[in-house]
A and B are shown apart, each in its own frame.
Chain A
């Protein structure tokens, strides 16, 4: 007869690995979690038509922003406000975009006072084609806005293709938005 203790040990051998396996599984999830960005809530409006809205212009600025204005050509819609600090960070990029004429940029001025917004645009430059003043933030809610800045890429058919949360950096422009704009103009359907 073989040694019963040794035999029982080998039978239970695989059970000893259970804690290790559990630790590895939990570790795997935690490791994957390191690369998640829980602050960025995915938009449900991607691929859908832009919401129906009509916003008046800022006081002393000619053109407001409506749903119809977003049809006909590829455009960017930038949600901004004079009280928004990180809007300052991305602003020079929009100035450059406007100067280069690559793509029209429209502004959605979110919960801002008209005079404050106009002062801000005078101080830092006005890169926008049209700007709609969303005083109450209701149109922002229709767009699924939950912080400022946010930027939407809209197709020529008036469909929301992409949403960028937070300030846009040169890298986002080069790696994401500009290639997407190019693809859209060539009749492609890029996926965010």
Chain B
């Protein structure tokens, strides 16, 4: 029920924002050769739908997603390797269509970010432990006699035992 209403909301958004083709010309039919179809489906799962964003074109019902599925199948039938078929789409829509972005100068923070933040967290925690004289910290000077007496007073030693 909730799923259906979310879908309906997404559909409305698609219609409201700016229109997406209503006319279906391309037919979304699997390839006859199961090996080729499996390759096509694997590529479909890697490509991001441009209309209902963050779905793969495999999952999306958008007309453009269907056109792109057909296009990928056509490329494979034309003898493209998987890489070439993906490149064909990327040349038109950019790295944006790749659900897994490539490692590049522009995306290095994306890839290295989590590792950098994790390292930073480890360093900060280590520093914190050292400063508060935790397990890894320096040994603590024993209390002087004065201090021991004062501590006993504060804890109310007499009352307790």
Contacts and interface: CB of A to CB of B under 8 A. Distances in A.
Contacts of A135: 25
Contact of B18 (A41, A113, A148): A148
A122 interface: no
B149 to A, nearest CB: 15
B2 interface: no
Given A41-B96, A135-B25, A137-B21, A11 B131 contact: yes
Interface string A63-83: 000000000000000000101
B19 A148 contact: yes
B132 A8 contact: yes
B106 to A, nearest CB: 12
Interface residues of B, number: 28
B9 interface: no
Contacts of B20: 147-148
B92 A137 contact: no
Given A136-B25, A137-B25, A147-B51, A111 B63 contact: yes
A84 B18 CA distance: 8
Nearest to A89: B18
Nearest to A43: B94
A147 B19 contact: yes
Interface in A110-158: 110-113, 135-138, 141-144, 146-149
Contact of B23 (A41, A112, A141): A112
Contacts of A142: 92
Interface of A: 8, 11-12, 15, 18, 38-39, 41-45, 81, 83-87, 110-113, 135-138, 141-144, 146-149, 166-167
Interface of B: 17-23, 25-26, 50-51, 53, 63-64, 67-68, 71, 90-96, 124, 128, 131-132
